[in-house]
Structure 1
Amino acid sequence: MAIEPLPYRMRPKTLDDIIGQQHILGKETALYKMIAKQHVPSMLLYGEPGIGKTSIAHAIAGSSQLPFFSLNATQAGKKDVEDIIVEARISGKVLLFLDEIHRFNKLQQDTLLPHVESGAIVLIGATTENPFHDVNPAIRSRCGEILQLHRLSVDDMTTIIHRALADEKNGLGRYDIAITDDQIEQLAIASNGDARKALTLLESVYYASDERDGKTIVDDATIASLAKRIGVYGDQQGSHFYNLLSALQKSVRGSDVDAALYYLAHLLESGDLTAVNRRLLVMAYEDVGLANAHVGSQVLAAVQASERLGLPEARIPLANAVVLMCLSEKSNSAYKALDAAIEAIHSGKTGDIPLHLRDTHYKGAQSLGHVGYEYPHNHPIGTFGGWVDQQYLPDVLVGTHFYTPVIAGEEKRLATIYERLQQFKK
């Protein structure tokens, strides 16, 4: 068997070999038609590991016939870039695949940029990070296409596995392997849309399986033991991690318990308990808010319990907190009201604090006119406690309303009180 790993050997040679990503490389797409006519634009490929960035770059190289060079930005230096520039001057045009492009420093970028701009170097950059956050704007501006790749489907994965099992030259086709369609589907599901993991898992299963009478017999137990954590991708500092946090919050906000628990599970598997706890506390006040004011203290208790317990037991109180927030009434009225007040200040809507509200805890306050404040507790109003009609906002803001109640859960009662107090004002 060849020394190279199976994913490397099975890498697509041309665009027609690519499985999946039809939204950007299907035969009817503009990019496919351009490359078929030997016109390759500079581009950025953005997506999670194993979904085809490197394979697409190699396939484009195979379809375009351009001299092809591949660098990894975590290892390449200025000299590597200069060597490719020399080759571009000799050949007229070269295709450069730059993996982990967001790791390129400014000096390396400055060396490369004019040659990309002139067309001497066609750049295909690949990144797992959001290019709008992590790729230098100068690089982005010279790449006409920013292509977001999607995780491959189970059908795509089974096709990739079947192809590897049938390929006698680069795959496992020369070996007699007894594997069922159900087992192939198990491999496809376990790899979680990552083609590299699927082929790595397939190769591992082949080597770990018993051989009988010259035939390799794959059993379910071998697949299960090797596939335990293959679906976990946990770069705690990367875009995918923050996308998971965003998806968790939006699922809770949308009251989808199953989706919220799925994203919570993925986040906890990444191991960053601190970031998860911080986001859950924010959600309690941002998304549930006054509609169920008790949720804030309940989520805080769950977070504190998780910190004492640590993983894996921390998942238990956090699961309770997520389900509670999902199924709670929701309101964002309080923080939206504060944001409106902040916006008013930033837009210049400020004024003097009314004299009767100013500090009087010093001699001479009366001589400055700091008088006239009425103590609300001295004016009982039903079961509310105390209230008196007096001005609190500066003169220029009198009559301004920042708070708009949401008629949900406990805030319905607060909204009633708010509206009634408005009616009492002169």
Structure 2
Amino acid sequence: MRPRNIDEVVGQQHLIGPGKIIWRMVKAKMLSSMILYGPPGTGKTSIASAIAGSTKYAFRKLNAATDTKKDLQVVVEEAKMSGTVILLLDEIHRLDKAKQDFLLPHLESGHIILIGATTENPYININPAIRSRTQIFEVHPLSIDDMKIAIDRALADPERGLGKMPIMIDEKAKTALVTATNGDLRSALNGLELAAKSTAKGEDGYIHLNLSTIEESVQKRNLVADKNGDGHYDTVSAFQKSIRGSDVDAALHYLARLIEAGDLPSIARRLSVIAYEDVGLANPPACARTISAIQAAEKLGFPEGRIPLANAVIELCLSPKSNSAIMAIDNALERLHQGHYGKIPNHLKDAHYKGAAKLGHGTDYKYPHDFPEDWVRQQYLPDPIKNDQYYHPKENGRFEKAYAKQYRSLINAQRHRQ
């Protein structure tokens, strides 16, 4: 069911729809090399073959990981003879330097129109030399409506699809097929083919595909939350941003994705970061309870571990928020990186060795516990930055309101010292 031209491509209308960038390239026959980046089964290879079919250029397909430099040489020689070859290079993020160096001059000459396909983020995983010579286009999981169009085409097409088979699929089964594969059309078509070819005809001569048959053929929802791929980082990012934005339901949805992927280490690490970065001083007890919930989940494992994690996520979502602590340490680091530090005051230096007093180390230090309320005016920062202020309190919760009041009181007292 691979599309033969861009009019047959299902989905990705932001790229191949009328008037969109790839559509315009094809119509003008002014192709440039590109990288198509997105989840499996969303049309990267289909778009490449459709471009070739629409422009009538020769089309070759190689894999950057498994095909050799010699395979590339064969394609290049063909391009030199025919004028232009569209080369789909799958898994382009795994292209090694030798193959890359061989390929680059032919991209420059225009003999090879490279269409790289990858599930990895090209801005992170693809060499800059390749990136600078290509346009980068992101493809997305197909919508349910697009998936249904493609399934109906496959059922009706007698040459390339299953049209010669007397198949009847009920609406619930079709809905399960297009939703269970999470926008991955390849998985949906594979599941449909398996279901059709493994099911005997009924007494009426038809192959009846019901919900149970489709569920057996597709098996499990294909959630994009793999532990190493781009989808993982997108899910973790959405998880943190949902908690930061106090959206309980969205946060629980992304937590469910990560639980379904079995990725407890990522959940534990991200929740620890969220607790101290986004809630922080607005509600310190929530931070402590989050760590306890993580420890409980690690001891319980899944599926029971989901319970303390859900408790923590809901509390963090509904807690007052403050990023004042991370901002404070980042302010201090930034000043340090700019060269603002100075010499540590003598009275703060280590005095636990013979001869320290002769150097003036520690001699004028005032021990705060010897004074009322365990505080005394005293300079702690080096002279060049003695008036620096890194912490800017927020007052979104009762805890930081109290901290803010104390901080401002101490700052005022310190700066008015005699």
* Band of TM-score, shorter chain: over 0.9
1:392 match: 380
Partner Cα distance (1:296, 1:193) in 2: 37
Measured after TM superposition, the shift of residue 97 of structure 1 is: 0.3
Distance 1:316 1:210, change over 3 A: farther
Matched, 1:156 2:146: yes
Candidates 134, 141, 145, aligned match of 2:125: 134
CA displacement, residues 362-387 of structure 1 (integer Å, 9 cap, x when unaligned): 22222222222212222233xxxx22
User: AA paired with 1:88?
Assistant: A
Measured after TM superposition, the shift of residue 183 of structure 1 is: 3.0
CA displacement, residues 22-77 of structure 1 (integer Å, 9 cap, x when unaligned): 11111111321221232221000011111110111111111111111100112111
Partner Cα distance (2:147, 2:370) in 1: 73
Aligned partner of residue 69 in structure 1, secondary structure:
strand
1:275 match: 266
Partner Cα distance (1:64, 1:333) in 2: 57
- Higher alpha-carbon deviation: 296-305 or 36-45: 296-305
Measured after TM superposition, the shift of residue 234 of structure 1 is: 4.6
- Higher alpha-carbon deviation: 397-406 or 367-376: 367-376
1:7 match: none
Distance 1:316 1:209, change over 3 A: farther
Measured after TM superposition, the shift of residue 286 of structure 1 is: 1.2
1:305 match: 296
Aligned partner of residue 356 in structure 1, secondary structure:
helix
CA displacement, residues 241-296 of structure 1 (integer Å, 9 cap, x when unaligned): 11211111111111112221222222222233222212221111111111111223
Partner Cα distance (2:323, 2:200) in 1: 59
Describe how 1:201-350 pairs up with structure 2 within 5 A.
201-212=191-202, 213-350=204-341
User: AA paired with 2:300?
Assistant: L
Aligned partner of residue 98 in structure 1, secondary structure:
strand
- Higher alpha-carbon deviation: 397-406 or 293-302: 293-302
Partner Cα distance (1:72, 1:316) in 2: 44
2:411 match: 422
Partner Cα distance (2:229, 2:343) in 1: 46
Structure 1 runs not aligned, ≥5 long: 1-9
1:379 match: 371
| Backbone CA RMSD of aligned residues | 1.6
Aligned length: 412
2:115 match: 124
Partner Cα distance (2:211, 2:261) in 1: 26
Aligned partner of residue 60 in structure 2, secondary structure:
strand
Partner Cα distance (1:227, 1:96) in 2: 32
Aligned partner of residue 116 in structure 2, secondary structure:
strand
Describe how 1:54-73 pairs up with structure 2 within 5 A.
54-73=45-64
Aligned partner of residue 350 in structure 2, secondary structure:
coil
**Contact 1:151-1:194 within 8 A present in 2 as well:** yes
- Higher alpha-carbon deviation: 121-130 or 196-205: 196-205
Candidates 386, 396, 401, aligned match of 2:389: 401
Partner Cα distance (1:158, 1:340) in 2: 53
Partner Cα distance (1:187, 1:238) in 2: 24
Structure 2 runs not aligned, ≥5 long: none
Describe how 1:16-31 pairs up with structure 2 within 5 A.
16-31=7-22
User: AA paired with 2:298?
Assistant: E
Candidates 55, 70, 88, aligned match of 1:79: 70
Measured after TM superposition, the shift of residue 225 of structure 1 is: 3.6
1:6 match: none
Measured after TM superposition, the shift of residue 228 of structure 1 is: 4.4
**Contact 2:225-2:235 within 8 A present in 1 as well:** no
CA displacement, residues 95-117 of structure 1 (integer Å, 9 cap, x when unaligned): 10001000111111111111011
Identity %: 51
Partner Cα distance (1:313, 1:16) in 2: 49
TM norm structure 2 = 0.94
Matched, 1:171 2:161: yes
TM norm structure 1 = 0.92
**Contact 1:210-1:218 within 8 A present in 2 as well:** no
**Contact 1:209-1:219 within 8 A present in 2 as well:** no
Partner Cα distance (1:225, 1:411) in 2: 54
**Contact 1:40-1:64 within 8 A present in 2 as well:** no
User: AA paired with 2:69?
Assistant: K
**Contact 1:197-1:230 within 8 A present in 2 as well:** no
1:4 match: none
State the 4+ residue runs in structure 1 displaced beyond 3 angstroms.
207-210, 224-228
Measured after TM superposition, the shift of residue 235 of structure 1 is: 3.3
CA displacement, residues 105-131 of structure 1 (integer Å, 9 cap, x when unaligned): 111111111101111111000110110
Partner Cα distance (2:311, 2:92) in 1: 41
User: AA paired with 1:364?
Assistant: G
